[in-house]
Amino acid sequence: MGKCSILSPAVTGNLNHLMKLDAVGATPVGRKPLFGLDAVALASRMADLGEPLWRGRQLTEALYRQWVAELDQITTLPLALRGRLRIEGWEVGRPAIEQVFRSVDGTERYLVRGSGTDARTFETVWMPEGDGGETGDGSEEEAKPWSRATICVSSQVGCAVNCQFCLTARLGFQRNLSAGEIAGQVVAVLDRHGVEVGRDRVNLVFMGMGEPFLNYDNFMAAVRLLVEEVGLSPLRMTVSTSGIVPGIERFAQEPPELRPKLAISLNAPSDEVRGEVMPINRKWPIAAVVDAVRQVKLRPRERITFEYVLLGGVTDRPEHAAEVAQLVQRTGLPAKVNLIAWNPGPELPYTTPKPETAEQFRAALAARGIPAYVRKPRGRDIYAACGQLKRTVEA
Ligand code: SAH
Ligand code: SF4
């Protein structure tokens, strides 16, 4: 079915469908969710109803600061106005967590229902770290069971990019998430864990299902909402791309106060190997990606992250580490490398290297002056780890 028709162009080398940054099926139609509209759009909805602009501000606060789930919870708006919104078909329409899978390591994977009329769900992951422990001051206040956390955010249902090692790729491309769905999955998770924005340490990584730079406008509109309305810092956000050059070039134009940090999925030591495991490399080879990344004006102390999936025998050999070190050095970019031992998926033809192999690879990079880290796999048992977001209901 759809899966094959999506997979085939990339396999045959025809990647023209990836040139359009906002491919098919952008925003779901048929419903009228308020969540996802920015402050200007909300004010103009209010103006349409003959209401003053400050009503728009109240609506914005309710959606993005108070995290209301129903129109009736917006008590700052008069009852009659809420009624008129409902009659006109408006709803809060924030994505809802429909199912939760919990890992032994505390990671949670959520099946999220979006605001589209289709039945498609997508996935979001919560990765808590550390232990809040006792409050220590004898107060009654209940400490959170984590001291910081990372939310892994999806940007599309499925993915068209077809990396050979990634389970999400097996879904093929199904549809883009709207800005409200991208930002809304974050708010749903913040709400579930009682996160206090501005106080708790929560990082966002746009590394869930999909390729954010093939849904560029919705992705950046979501970032804007999360920064300007929800109050999260873009310095605590990282977007990862498989190397969509026109997307990176647009990203380089974003203002520093809105731009998340950038991670590039390098995943191979050379164009030759990368072209095998990531067919997208045949369209945009490593040098083209690096040239685009150079256009990004980094903030003080900011570094580009290169992600590197260690595939047993394919990308994890000592000579590969030497090549990666050289490649990264040649870019001249302030960079670090995140090594990810491959997370297994059914029917994928790879093996996971031993922890010692990952450690040797890291040490080989470090010895050549490249800061490198081995990423701890999170939630593998519930298929929540990198590249495993596909299984949806069965865990
Ligand atoms: N589409 C974007 C972001 C989502 S994938 C991208 O590819 O960058 C997030 C990261 O997971 C990428 O670096 C990707 O290379 C990595 N990844 C994919 N499948 C994986 C797997 N099975 N095991 C480990 N990492 C994987
Ligand atoms: Fe898509 Fe990223 Fe998976 Fe590649 S690794 S198929 S770009 S989600």
DSSP track, 142-180: PPPS-SEEEEE---EEE-SS--TT-TGGGG-EEEEPPHH
> Is residue 16 located within the same domain as residue 37?
no
What 8-state DSSP symbol labels residue 298?
A: P
pLDDT of residue 19: 42
pLDDT of residue 393: 60
CB atoms within 10 A of CB 193: 16
Asked if residue 288 belongs to a domain, the reply is yes
CATH number, domain of 39, equals 1.10.150.530
> Is residue 150 located within the same domain as residue 266?
yes
> Is residue 77 located within the same domain as residue 150?
no
DSSP-based three-state secondary structure for 52: coil
Tell me how far the alpha carbon of residue 292 lies from the centroid of ligand 1, in angstroms. 20
Tell me how far the alpha carbon of residue 341 lies from the centroid of ligand 1, in angstroms. 11
pLDDT of residue 285: 98
Asked if residue 182 belongs to a domain, the reply is yes
Please compute the mean of the pLDDT values over residues 88-97 and round it to a whole number.
95
> Is residue 83 located within the same domain as residue 148?
no
Torsion of Cα atoms, 60 then 64 then 69 then 71, to 10°: 0
pLDDT of residue 134: 52
What crossing angle do the helices spanning 286-294 and 318-331 adopt, rounded to 10°? Answer: 40
Q: Which residues surround ligand 2 with Cβ inside 6 Å?
A: 159, 161-163, 166, 168-169, 210-211, 242, 265, 387
> Is residue 13 located within the same domain as residue 86?
no
> Is residue 279 located within the same domain as residue 295?
yes
Minimum CA distance residue for ligand 1 atom 17: 387
Write the pLDDT tens digit of every residue in 286-326. Answer: 999 999 999 999 999 999 999 999 999 999 999 999 999 99
Helix or strand (DSSP H, E) at 196: none
> Is residue 376 located within the same domain as residue 352?
yes
The ligand placed nearest to the CA atom of residue 152 is: 1
Ligand 2: which atom is nearest the Cα of residue 209? 8
What crossing angle do the helices spanning 179-192 and 216-224 adopt, rounded to 10°? Answer: 40
Ligand 1: which atom is nearest the Cα of residue 350? 22
CATH number, domain of 193, equals 3.20.20.70
> Residue 261: beta bridge partners?
238
Asked if residue 197 belongs to a domain, the reply is yes
**What is the rounded CA–CA span in Å between residue 251 and residue 260?**
9
∠ CA 390-393-395 to the nearest 5 degrees? 80
Smallest CA-to-CA distance from 131 within 119, 144, 122, 142 is with 144
> Is residue 20 located within the same domain as residue 40?
no
> Is residue 62 located within the same domain as residue 139?
no
Which of these is catalytic: 159, 163, 166, 386? Answer: 386
pLDDT-based confidence at residue 20 (cuts at 50, 70, 90): very low
Asked if residue 189 belongs to a domain, the reply is yes
What's the domain range around 154? Answer: 9-25+130-382
Tell me how far the alpha carbon of residue 305 lies from the centroid of ligand 1, in angstroms. 13
Mean pLDDT taken over the chain: 90
Asked if residue 100 belongs to a domain, the reply is no
Of 123, 159, 209, the residue with max ligand 2 atoms within 8 A of its CB, to mutate for a pocket test, comes to 159
Catalytic site residue 123?
Answer: yes
pLDDT of residue 3: 30
Which of these is catalytic: 123, 181, 211, 307? Answer: 123
> Is residue 160 located within the same domain as residue 252?
yes
Helix or strand (DSSP H, E) at 110: strand 108-113
pLDDT of residue 346: 86
pLDDT of residue 27: 44
pLDDT over 90 percentage in the chain: 81
Residue 386 CB–ligand 1 contact under 6 Å: yes
Residue 284 CB–ligand 1 contact under 6 Å: no
pLDDT-based confidence at residue 392 (cuts at 50, 70, 90): low
**What is the rounded CA–CA span in Å between residue 208 and residue 189?**
14
**What is the rounded CA–CA span in Å between residue 89 and residue 216?**
28
Asked if residue 125 belongs to a domain, the reply is no
pLDDT of residue 216: 98
Write the pLDDT tens digit of every residue in 67-80. Answer: 999 999 999 999 99
CB atoms within 10 A of CB 13: 10
Please say if the pLDDT value at position 14 is more than 60: no
Lowest-pLDDT range, 29-43, 195-209, 355-369? 29-43
Please say if the pLDDT value at position 174 is more than 70: yes
Which pair of tokens denotes residue 305?
């992250």
List all residues 6 or more positions away from 348 whose beta carbon is below 8 Å from its beta carbon: 164, 165, 167
Q: Domain end: 44, 69, 91, which one?
A: 91
| Helices and strands, counts by H and E, the chain | 11, 14
List all residues 6 or more positions away from 278 whose beta carbon is below 8 Å from its beta carbon: 161, 163, 164, 242, 243, 265, 267, 268
Of 153, 289, 386, 388, the residue with max ligand 1 atoms within 8 A of its CB, to mutate for a pocket test, comes to 386
Q: In the chain, how many domains are there?
A: 2
∠ CA 362-363-365 to the nearest 5 degrees? 65
Asked if residue 296 belongs to a domain, the reply is yes
Tell me how far the alpha carbon of residue 152 lies from the centroid of ligand 1, in angstroms. 11
Residue 307 CB–ligand 1 contact under 6 Å: yes
Catalytic site residue 386?
Answer: yes
pLDDT of residue 24: 41
